[in-house]
Amino acid sequence: MRIGIIAIAFSVALGASAAPAAAQNKDPLKIGVLMPTTGVFAVLGERQLKGMRFAVQEFGGSIAGRKIELLHEDTEGNPSVGLQKARKLVGSDKIEIATGIINSAVALAVGPYLSGQKIPLVLSNASTDTLTGDKCDRYVFRASYSSAQITKPIGIWMAKNAPKSIYLLASDYVAPREYIAAFKEGFLAGGGTIVGEAYPPFAKTQDYGPYLAQAKATNPGAIFSVFFAAEALTFVKQYESFGLKKDIPLYGPIGLTPPVLRAAQGASALDVVSPSNYVAELSHKENVDFRAAYMKAYGEEPEEFAVMGYDSMRFILEAVKARNGETADRPGMVSAIEKVSYVGPRGPMKMAANHQATQNVYIVKTVKKGDSVGFDVIDTFANYEDPVQGCKMQ
Amino acid sequence: MLSDPTFLIEQILNSLQFSMLLFLLAIGLSVVFGMMDYLNLSHGTIYMLSAYLAYSIAGISGSYWLALLCAPVAAALIGVSLYYLLLQRVTQHGHLAQVLLTVGVIYFGTEMLRILYGDLPKGVPVPAALEGVARVLGVAYPKYRLFIISVGLVTMGVLYVVLERTRLGALVRAGVDDRVTAETMGIDIAKVFAGVFAIGAYLAGLAGVIAAPVFGVYTGMDVSVIILVLIVVVIGGLGSLAGAIVGSFLIGFADTFGKILLPEFAMVMIYLVMALALVFRPSGLMPARRFMAQG
Amino acid sequence: MASRVFLRRVIGAGLLAAALAGCMLASYFTQDLIAEAAILAVFALSLDFLATCGLVSFGHAGLLGVGAYAFGGLTVLAGYSPGTALAAAVLGGLIVAMAAGVFAVRTTGAFFIMVTLAMAEMFFSWVFRDRTFKGADGMGGVPRLDLSAIGVDLNDASTFAIFVVLLCAAIWLALEFLIVSPFGRTLDAIRQNAGRVSALGGSVFAYRLAAFTISGGIAAFAGAFKVQHTNFLSPDLAGWLASGDVLIAVVIGGIGTLVGGILGAAILVFLKDFLSSHFGHWYLFLGAIFMMVAIGLPRGIVGWVLELRGKRP
């Protein structure tokens, strides 16, 4: 047995033979999961894997009598490694469907290959716009979000509800730049002005002091920032330590103050306004039930990444279920995924024509909740379809 | 913008603060490098380890000051154990074996920390006494950053006195400048070296603790500074206190002002400073005597 | 000396035979790994050749990156044929290495390590940000050489693996002859005592620059095949971790032996794959293995074998 390949087989309880007898294929349903479990993205990868396994569990471990097997490979967040692992999954392990992928670089490398092999891929995190824009692909879906789907709404919203002059500060690589571009589109169209912008080098900037002093010197009404993980921790804490927040409020994607950084950021995370497709505080029944069941299964709270992992797997499993376990007809699988629609922890979910999930985008604010920090949902862009242009589906 | 005095003062303080951290990391590396010609890439791992220790100590005891007291000492002990158990074994095997060994230590140490602490970045709160901002020459500046600057300046002073005015300092300088002669005079260089290694690890540990509240604690924090620190050492010249000080200031200021003045070339700036320094002074700006002839 | 050379060549021939057998017989994925190892081996050869004159670079991935980006950029963005792009990539590697070398080879030892690292980081920072090459996201769709004219389809995994293994063997043989040529002997003399060579009237600078330039050309060649293998161009190729990887491959195999770099590359590629698919925190094992090799076999595996051989009467 290969320990590295996490083959999860939740066997169906004896007697629970509710599986439709019509299914012809009784081979295990092999789903390839490309997820970094080493390197900088490991922390997200582990969470998404949990969310995916939870979805499998929710389906009882099998569909139409076919046992669900997740075959995980570590992409290390590196496109060359990711591509190699995808080839391994297809060539040696004979997967039928694939999911996962945290960073866009890996998605851009792996997507075309899997498409060429007619393996449907449901992305669980990689957010670059082109994946559902000019590089959209019949076999590639995204259950998470595109950059523009998240930051265009906050741009529109801020032009109406926030200071009109903004300074932009974002980590210098493709994804944050893309977030900023979509933000500008929404914000400028709404009549806002941008007084300055700076892009600290990614993973090479320890001190944001020089940038914050520079931003302050332009007297902005607010700062809109895009940083993730360790950079978000450092940035938000330093923002607080310079005493800026009371004069210049901070806005930015939820990556600035995600629940996973709560303990580390402490009170410095307060009063940040963010767009997000999920927060734990959503009160609809599907979310409350999901959280209770997840808590029971793992003894820990699911957050955004676990939920997106869950939704990616759910899109796949719903589609397989709709086809009664028949996965050999790949174009049929593709159209089944296109037709999936359900209300999940994030709210109503369905696929848009460009294969990006249409979903609610929430505007949330970090507030004090007891001893800790939590989110208040202050506005909702309901069923917000991906604004990305340029998809010509082949 | 540079004509605005408050802006300029604030950026000078930022530069100083960063220079001090670089200095604390660079001095140990520089002396170890200078004395034994040992390329210890895992120096940053001690820095990272100490930051994690500070996180644990401050978390359990609730006192940052206890962490400041204990974590660097623990770092020194770990550094010395590491030296006797592993690093010392390849002293004679040249830079490459040292690179392989210390990269092994980096991988191993990083993975151990991931197992023990998980992958999430950790935060260490600023101690209550140093919260908030203070006014310096009319500029509101975080008190904690002023504390970092003071720690750096005090360390420079102490090291100067120790290296230039004490017997221990004389031993170290003798070891760096002419090991063979020092050995024939009956000095146990291996012991002096272990002592130097401990002090270097202590200072790296100190840097880890004081950096933790500002820069956060996460796996990979070592790698993101070690390259800068190596550059400081190379620019300053091996084995000398003055070199480490000059190199740290040069890189600290080049980094901060490079980011403001030439944002598109922020990273290039540092490498350019280094390339220029080495073209004109191939063994660094202020190396210990032994290295002056090189190049 | 002759027996050392002979032994090296025996090891090389053995590796070649094993690789070719693997290409023909092993599974698809193993063929993929063999191709990866062969390309890393070419890269390792370029680094080990440079070590002949006593220089060790910690920024060689920068030169690999030059080849990779030249090849990928010219084929994907400018629409040149892979053949033309390959020639341009090698030429680019030679030119960049020569220009960088004018500054770099003035230093030696740890300073050379640092200068090369800094130069590679400059290149990395540029491709990481520059949007021409899609920055950190990288760029897909890099084509492979089209050898259909001679009936060879490089898009087939097995064929590609055999092809790069043969290329690696050819470069290895060429370098084997180069290091025993008068030029190679002078490089070796510089490594042992640069002062004596310059006292005898040789330009140490010129020889080192020549070695660095040739090494750069080979590294760029490896880069052009690296992107053909993955069909993908990304800044990681030129990052310092990649420089570290190839350096580690050379050290594990045995520096200054040429064939050691090939062996080290193969070990590193297969070891990483084995560890990563069998263990969770596999960097722990990788780190421990590096430490053991550094302490137990500081001259590398081939270096150790040659020493054993040397000790026999």
Question: Taking CB atoms and an 8 Å cutoff, what residues of chain B touch A244?
Answer: none
User: Which residue from B101, B238, B282 is facing C294, i.e. has the nearest CB?
Assistant: B101
Which pairing describes strands A357-369 and A347-351: parallel, antiparallel, or unpaired?
antiparallel
Same-domain check for residues A226 and A369: yes
Q: Are B148 and B21 in contact (CB under 8 A)?
A: yes
Burial letters for A332-349: b for 16+ Cβ neighbours within 10 Å, e otherwise?
A: ebbebbbebeeebbbbeb
Rounded (to 5) percent helix, strand, coil in chain C:
80, 0, 20
C280 touches chain A (CB under 8 A): yes
Nearest to C138 among A87, A88, A108 (CB): A108
Confidence of residue B291 (pLDDT cuts 50, 70, 90): low
d(CA A185, CA A387) in angstroms, rounded, equals 11
Which pair of structure tokens corresponds to residue A184?
Answer: 């500008």
- Dihedral of alpha carbons B8, B10, B11, B16, sign: positive
- Asked if pLDDT for residue A314 goes beyond 80, the answer is yes
Per-residue confidence band for A17, with pLDDT thresholds at 50, 70 and 90: very low
Is A219 in CB contact (< 8 Å) with chain B?
no
Q: How many helices (H) and strands (E) does chain A have?
A: 11, 15
A87 touches chain C (CB under 8 A): yes
| Contact by Cβ (8 Å): B132, B142 | yes
**Residue A54 to residue A300: CA distance in whole angstroms:** 12
Same domain, A106 and A212: no
Average pLDDT in the A270-276 region? 96
Does the CA dihedral A177-A183-A189-A194 come out positive or negative? negative
Residue A37: closest C-alpha in chain B: B119
**Would you give the distance in Å from CA B129 to the centre of its chain?**
25
Can you tell me the mean pLDDT for C21-32?
Answer: 83
Pair A266, A365 in one domain: yes
Helices (H), A134-284: 147-161, 174-189, 209-217, 229-241, 262-265
Q: Under 8 Å CB-to-CB from C100, ≥6 apart: which residues? A: C62, C116, C119, C212, C216
Question: Residues 86-125, chain C: which have Cβ within 8 Å of A?
Answer: 125
Determine whether the interchain pair C276/A91 forms a contact, defined as Cβ–Cβ distance below 8 Å: no
- Chain-centre distance of CA C77, in angstroms? 26
Indicate the residue of B93, B101, B234 with minimum beta-carbon distance to C114. Answer: B234
Q: What is the pLDDT of residue A381?
A: 96
* Cα–Cα dist B157/B161, whole Å: 6
Instruction: Write the pLDDT tens digit of every residue in A285-304.
Output: 999 999 999 999 999 989 89
Quote the CA–CA distance of B239 and B40 in Å, as a whole number. 14
Tokens 């802006």 — which residue? Answer: B7
Domain shared by A346 and A325, yes or no: yes
User: Do residues C252 and C301 touch, judged by C-beta distance below 8 A?
Assistant: yes
Say what the alpha-carbon torsion angle A128, A131, A135, A137 is, to the nearest 10 degrees: 180
- Residues of B in Cβ contact (< 8 Å) with C294: 90, 93, 97-98, 100-101, 104
Same-domain status, A154 and A293: no
Q: Count chain B–chain C contacts defined by CB atoms under 8 A.
A: 125
pLDDT one-digit tens code per residue, A201-233: 887 788 999 999 999 999 999 999 999 888 999
- Pick the residue of C277, C281, C283 with the most A CBs within 10 A to test the interface with A by mutation: C277
The enclosing domain of A185 has a CATH number of: 3.40.50.2300
Please state, as a whole number, how many other Cβ atoms lie within 10 Å of the Cβ of residue C253.
29
Mean pLDDT of A23-50: 86
* Chain C touching partners, 3 or more CB pairs below 8 A: A, B
- Provide the token pair at B159: 């090291």
Q: Are strands A62-63 and A97-100 parallel, antiparallel or unpaired?
A: unpaired
Query: A243 at the B interface (CB within 8 A)?
Result: yes
How many CB contacts within 8 angstroms connect chain A with chain B? 103
Query: Looking at C88-92, C146-150, C166-170, which range is the least confident one?
Result: C146-150
User: CA of B31: how far to CAs of A373, B230, B241, in Å?
Assistant: 46, 12, 8
Name the CATH architecture for the domain at C2-311.
Answer: Orthogonal Bundle (1.10)
Q: Is A60 exposed, middle or buried (0-12, 13-18, 19+ CB in 10 A)?
A: middle
Length of chain A in terms of residues written: 394
Tens-digit pLDDT profile for residues B11-27? 999 999 999 999 999 99
**Which of A207, A234, A268, A373 should be substituted to probe chain B, the one whose Cβ sees the most B Cβ atoms within 10 Å?**
A207
Q: Is the model's pLDDT at A246 over the cut of 90?
A: no
- Do A236 and A299 fall into the same domain? no
Contact B216, B225 (CB under 8 A): no
What ipTM was assigned to the predicted interfaces of this complex?
0.86
Q: Are residues A57 and A138 in the same domain?
A: yes
Poorest-pLDDT segment among A110-119, C30-39, C122-131, C163-172 = C122-131
Q: In DSSP terms, which residues pair with A358 in a beta bridge?
A: A350
CA distance B140 to B132: 9
Domain identity same for A244 and A98: no
**Token digits for C24?**
């023909």
* CA angle at C61 for the pair C57 and C62, rounded to the nearest 5°: 95
Separation of CA B31 from chain center: 11
Among A53-62, A210-219, B227-236, C56-65, name the one with the lowest average pLDDT.
B227-236
Instruction: Kindly determine whether residue B220 and residue A206, on different chains, have CB atoms separated by under 8 Å.
Output: no
Residue C6 is predicted with a pLDDT of 84
Pick the CATH number of B5-116+132-289 from 3.30.70, 1.10.3470, 3.90.550, 3.40.50: 1.10.3470
- Our CA-based measurement puts residue A120 at a distance from the nearest CA of chain C, in whole angstroms, of 19
Which pLDDT score is estimated for C185? 92
Q: Is there a domain that residue A392 lies in?
A: no
Measured torsion, CA atoms of residues C258, C261, C266, C268, in degrees rounded to the nearest 10: 170
Helices (H) and strands (E) in chain C, counts: 13, 0
Answer yes or no: is pLDDT of B58 > 60: yes
* pLDDT tens by residue, B223-252: 878 888 988 988 888 888 999 999 999 999
* Residue of C114, C240, C288 with shortest CB distance to B231: C114
Q: Would you state the pLDDT for residue A275?
A: 96
The stretch C257-273 carries a mean pLDDT of 93
* Same-domain status, A250 and A371: yes
Q: What is the average pLDDT value for chain B, to the nearest integer?
A: 88
Q: Which residue has the higher pLDDT, C227 or B270?
A: C227
Residue C196 C-alpha, separation from nearest chain B C-alpha, in angstroms: 15
* pLDDT, position A79: 83
Q: Which of C115, C119, C291 sits opposite B105 (nearest CB)?
A: C291
Query: Does residue B292 register a pLDDT over 80?
Result: no
pLDDT of amino acid C313:
45
Q: In angstroms, what CA-CA distances link B134 with B68, B138, B139?
A: 22, 9, 8
Put simply, the answer to whether C240 touches B274 (Cβ < 8 Å) is no
Give residue A331's pLDDT band: very low, low, confident or very high (50, 70, 90). very high
Q: Tell me if C294 and B100 make a contact (CB, 8 A cut-off).
A: yes
Give CA–CA dist A304/A289, Å, rounded: 16
Q: How confident is the model at residue B271 (pLDDT cuts 50, 70, 90)?
A: confident
- The answer to whether the CB of A338 falls within 8 A of the CB of A350 is no
Q: Using the predicted structure, report yes or no on whether residue A181 has a pLDDT greater than 60.
A: yes
For B74-94, what is each residue's pLDDT tens digit? 999 999 999 999 988 888 888
* Lowest-pLDDT choice from A329-343, B30-44, B167-181, C95-109: B167-181
Enumerate the residues of chain C whose CB falls inside 8 A of the CB of residue B95.
56, 109-110, 113
Query: To the nearest whole number, what is the mean pLDDT of chain C?
Result: 90
Nearest chain B residue to A203 by CA: give it. B224
Q: Where are the domains of chain B?
A: 5-116+132-289
Q: How far is B177 from chain C (nearest CA, A)?
A: 17
Q: Looking at the structure, do residues A372 and A225 belong to the same domain, yes or no? A: yes
Local structure of A11: helix, strand or coil: coil
Q: pLDDT grade, residue A3 (50/70/90)? A: very low
Residue where the block lists tokens 């709270």: A301
Read off the tokens for C157.
């995994």
Mean pLDDT of chain A: 90
B273 closest CA partner among B254, B252, B292: B254
Binning pLDDT at 50, 70 and 90, where does residue C292 land? very high
Assigned token pair, C4: 């050392």
* Cα nearest neighbour of B89 on chain C: C295
In this predicted structure, the answer to whether residue A160 has a pLDDT above a threshold of 50 is: yes
A190 within domain boundaries: yes
SS3 B261: helix
Closest approach of A156 to chain B, Cα-based (Å): 28
A229-241 vs A209-217: helix crossing angle, rounded to 10: 60
pLDDT band of A24, cuts 50, 70, 90? low
Return the amino acid letter for A41. F
Counted domains in chain A: 2
* Contact: B224, A40; criterion CB under 8 Å: no
Per-residue pLDDT at A20 exceeds 50: no
Kindly state the average pLDDT of the residues C262-283: 89
Cα–Cα dist C107/C58, whole Å: 13
CA angle B73–B75–B76, rounded 5-degree value:
65
Q: Which residue has the tokens 């005015």?
A: B165
pLDDT reading at A1 higher than 60: no
Q: Does residue A196 form part of some domain?
A: yes
Q: Kindly list the domain boundaries of chain C, sorted by start residue.
A: 2-311
Q: Are B204 and B27 in contact (CB under 8 A)?
A: no
Indicate whether A67 pLDDT > 80: yes
Does B115 contact C121 at a Cβ distance shorter than 8 Å? no
Contact B260 A214 (CB under 8 A): yes
d(CA B256, CA C75): 39
Contact B282 C121 (CB under 8 A): no
Q: Is the pLDDT of residue C259 over 80?
A: yes
Range of the domain at A344: 29-145+283-355
Comparing alpha-carbon positions, the chain A residue that sits nearest to C138 is: A105
Nearest CA to B105 out of B84, B90, B87 is that of B87
Cβ–Cβ contact A389 with B under 8 A: no
Q: Is the pLDDT of residue B268 over 80?
A: no
Q: pLDDT, tens digit, for every residue of A347-386?
A: 999 999 999 999 999 999 999 998 889 999 999 999 999 9
pLDDT band at B180 (very low <50, low <70, confident <90, very high): confident
A331 exposure class (CB count in 10 Å sphere: 0-12, 13-18, 19+): exposed
